[in-house]
């Protein structure tokens, strides 16, 4: 089996590549990534020399790059490549639409032409919008995205659907909750707060900190994606839930207490516009039809993640001292 993984130098993509190389050693993996600020080949340093792994630099929204990589044949395509940070989508919505929607459509076109056996599009629970205190999103919940990021992901999902309906293309979509684990870029809540706490910096928490997310350990997500690749049905969408609803405030308090840092580092700051209150996924479909469910308990996964950031300080310190620093200074000014 030969698989093209787009966005494989990012957080989830790199974990997925490592997971595939470990669990499907006879597969050949090609990682196609533009290496934006979020792409980092250091995420795959331990497997970079594997015989069945290769990196190709390229942009999913550039027709020549996409045509180029499809010069070879793939059985599977896993589309992780995206602009993925909601905060950034408030500042650069056009880039989100270009990469996440047009990029996905270019990939679909080329994958269709080359006759892939399965195209898996990695999406998010954010496409469903915001929930009140009760209830869960199922795969048939309406799409009501509230940020330019989630709108771009919802749009890409619909383009994927249309390629299945119109061209009978073997497309599947997965929608996951908030991921956490090793190699997550330190702009996202958990690594942002772990790295800041380790530096004894304040932890800027949006609003009242009571926004709820459904947390999914990245390895569980990778297992879910592989399960859908191998057992999923063409044209279907599968929610990949973490069964771990937590408020941002609870998580922040846990991080500080595990690290032995004072709770006084928490600093409440003005809320983000369009900040969804609660996400929670009903993942009965993937559990009943494909036999997948999350294994990691949140408290255990968080400890493992914190250990990883404590033991891999060079990885995140290199990022924070590089070009990301400029973005960080510019956009997080208000949150300091
Ligand atoms: N992180 C989460 O909690 C979460 C949850 C559900 C779904 N998702 C989805 O999973 C996917 C991966 O998320 P992540 O957190 O690993 O993101 P990430 O930002 O860590 O990684 C994105 C990767 O895509 C690459 N990329 C960006 N634009 C590109 C382009 N034009 N061409 C080629 N490569 C490009 C980047 O270089 C980077 O390596 C995204 O599609 C995201 O929407 C993420």
Q: What pLDDT digit, counting tens, does each position of 161-180 carry?
A: 999 999 999 999 999 999 99
Report CA dihedral (66, 68, 69, 70) to the nearest 10 degrees: 80
Q: Which atom of ligand 1 is nearest to the CA of 81?
A: 24
Residue 160 and residue 173 in contact, taking contact as beta carbons nearer than 8 Å: yes
Q: Please tell me the number of Cα atoms within 13 Å of 117 on its side-chain side.
A: 11
Residue 35, pLDDT above cutoff 70: yes
Q: Which two tokens stand for residue 271?
A: 């809320």
Residue 328, pLDDT above cutoff 70: no
**pLDDT computed for residue 104 by the predictor:** 98
Q: What is the 3-state composition of the chain as percent helix, strand, coil, each rounded to the nearest 5?
A: 45, 20, 35
271 contact partners, CB below 8 Å, separation of at least 6: 206, 207, 208
Place of tokens 């310190």: 317
The mean pLDDT value for 145-169 works out to: 98
CATH number for the domain running over 2-180+216-240: 3.40.50.720
Calculate what percentage of the chain has a pLDDT beyond 90.
91
125 tagged catalytic: yes
Residue 245, pLDDT above cutoff 80: yes
Report CA(1)–ligand 1 centroid distance (Å): 23
Residue 320 and residue 278 in contact, taking contact as beta carbons nearer than 8 Å: no
**pLDDT computed for residue 331 by the predictor:** 57
pTM above 0.85, yes or no: yes
Which stretches within the chain are classed as H helix?
11-23, 63-69, 86-91, 93-97, 104-114, 148-167, 189-198, 218-231, 248-259, 284-290, 298-311, 313-321, 324-331
Report CA(33)–ligand 1 centroid distance (Å): 10
**Beta-carbon count within 10 A of 296 CB:** 21
149 tagged catalytic: yes
Report CA(182)–ligand 1 centroid distance (Å): 15
Residue 334, pLDDT above cutoff 70: no
Single out the catalytic residue among 126, 214, 220, 245: 126
Measured CA to CA, the distance from residue 249 to residue 211 in angstroms comes to 8
Q: Which two tokens stand for residue 332?
A: 């997080």
Confidence of residue 78 (pLDDT cuts 50, 70, 90): very high
Q: What pLDDT digit, counting tens, does each position of 282-306 carry?
A: 999 999 999 999 999 999 999 999 9
Most distant pair of Cα atoms in the chain: their distance: 57
What is the average pLDDT score of the chain?
A: 95
Residue 54 and residue 2 in contact, taking contact as beta carbons nearer than 8 Å: no
**pLDDT computed for residue 203 by the predictor:** 96
**pLDDT computed for residue 192 by the predictor:** 95
**Beta-carbon count within 10 A of 213 CB:** 22
Q: Which two tokens stand for residue 205?
A: 């928490």
318 tagged catalytic: no
Q: Which two tokens stand for residue 217?
A: 């350990």
Residue 336, pLDDT above cutoff 50: no
Nearest CA-CA partner of 48 in 7, 86, 8: 8
Ligand 1 shell residues, CB under 6 Å: 6-7, 9-13, 33-36, 38-39, 59-61, 80-84, 99, 103, 122, 124, 153, 176, 178-179, 185
**pLDDT computed for residue 326 by the predictor:** 62
Q: Tell me whether strands 245-247 and 212-217 are parallel, antiparallel or unpaired.
A: antiparallel
Q: Which two tokens stand for residue 29?
A: 């993996």
Place of tokens 């993984």: 5
Q: Which two tokens stand for residue 295?
A: 């294994």
Measured CA to CA, the distance from residue 123 to residue 149 in angstroms comes to 11
Report CA(313)–ligand 1 centroid distance (Å): 22
Burial of 161 (0-12, 13-18, 19+ CB in 10 A): middle
The mean pLDDT value for 15-25 works out to: 98
Measured CA to CA, the distance from residue 19 to residue 226 in angstroms comes to 9
């Amino acid at each position: 089996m030969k698989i093209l993984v787009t966005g494989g130098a990012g957080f989830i993509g790199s974990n997925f590549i490592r997971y595939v190389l470990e669990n499907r050693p006879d597969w050949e993996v090609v990682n196609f990534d533009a290496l934006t600020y979020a792409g980092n080949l250091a995420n795959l340093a331990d497997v970079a020399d594997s015989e069945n792994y290769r990196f190709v630099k390229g942009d999913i929204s550039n027709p020549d790059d996409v045509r180029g990589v499809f010069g070879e044949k793939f059985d599977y395509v896993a589309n992780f490549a995206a602009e993925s940070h909601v905060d950034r989508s408030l500042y650069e919505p056009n880039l989100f639409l270009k990469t996440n929607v047009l990029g996905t459509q270019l990939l679909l076109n080329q994958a269709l032409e080359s006759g892939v056996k399965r195209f898996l599009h990695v999406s998010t629970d954010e496409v469903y919008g915001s929930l009140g205190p009760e209830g869960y999103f199922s795969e048939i919940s309406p799409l009501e995205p509230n940020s330019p990021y989630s709108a771009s992901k919802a749009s890409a999902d619909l383009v994927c659907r249309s390629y299945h309906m119109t061209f009978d293309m073997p497309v599947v979509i997965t929608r996951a909750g908030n991921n956490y684990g090793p190699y997550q870029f330190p702009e996202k809540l958990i690594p942002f707060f772990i790295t800041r706490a380790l530096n004894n910096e304040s932890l800027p928490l949006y609003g009242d900190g009571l926004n709820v997310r459904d947390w999914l350990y990245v390895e569980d997500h990778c297992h879910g994606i592989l399960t859908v690749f191998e057992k999923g049905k063409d044209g279907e969408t599968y929610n990949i839930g973490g069964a771990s609803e937590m408020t941002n405030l609870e998580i922040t308090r846990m991080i500080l207490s595990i690290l032995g840092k004072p709770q006084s580092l928490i600093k409440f700051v003005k809320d983000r516009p369009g900040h969804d209150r609660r996400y929670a996924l009903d993942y009965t479909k993937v559990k009943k039809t494909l036999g997948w469910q999350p294994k990691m308990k949140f408290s255990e996964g968080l400890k493992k993640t914190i250990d990883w950031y404590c033991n891999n300080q060079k990885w995140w310190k290199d990022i924070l001292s590089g070009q990301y620093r400029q973005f960080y200074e510019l956009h997080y000014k208000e949150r300091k």
